Amino acid sequence: MTTSAPARNTVQRSALRRAFETASRPLSPAEALAAAQHEVPGLGIATVYRNIRHLVDEGWLAEVPLPGSPSRYEVAGKHHHHHFRCRICDRVFEVEACPPDLRQLIPAGFRLEEHDITLVGRCSRCSAPETQRLRDRTAS
């Protein structure tokens, strides 16, 4: 019988954990890479994908599937919430509110077991006037 050893906590994995912990929103692998490269400059995207897979398998990260867009990832174990995806910058944000009584929307005889709502539009940065967006880009 073979048992798999727990995944090593490498410098790369530690940097990725911190990237997700400090993010106030779900991250794509590319966003996680950019954040973790501040600590580990030589970090590559293949290592990020491999570590994200391990962190999801461990239950530390949760996948955030998005219709028509690649999945994002966030620290697992958060309370029930929904997401907003900006169609301009493609960033994803958490939405704390939940519509009241969704059971009113389902057909008669159906039973609601769970739900996931993704709102799509423009984030505050992308809906700002062009001059403000230019200032935000140069400040980032």
CATH class of 1-78: mainly alpha
The confidence score (pLDDT) of residue 131 equals 56
Q: pTM for this structure?
A: 0.78
Residues 48 and 36 sit within 8 Å (Cβ to Cβ)? yes
Q: Which of 94, 85, 74, 92 is nearest to 119 (CA)?
A: 85
Q: What angle do CA 129, 138, 47 make, to 5 degrees?
A: 115
The ranges of the chain annotated as CATH 3.30.1490.190 are 79-140
Determine the average pLDDT of the residues in 14-43.
96
pLDDT tens digits, one per residue of 84-102:
999 999 999 999 888 888 8
The confidence score (pLDDT) of residue 16 equals 97
CATH of 79-140, one of 3.40.50.300, 3.30.1490.190, 1.10.3720.10, 3.40.50.970: 3.30.1490.190
Q: What angle do CA 138, 84, 90 make, to 5 degrees?
A: 45
Residues 54 and 9 sit within 8 Å (Cβ to Cβ)? no
* Mean of all residue pLDDT scores within the chain: 88
Q: Which residue has the higher pLDDT, 131 or 17?
A: 17
Residue 126, phi then psi, degrees to nearest 5: -80, -15
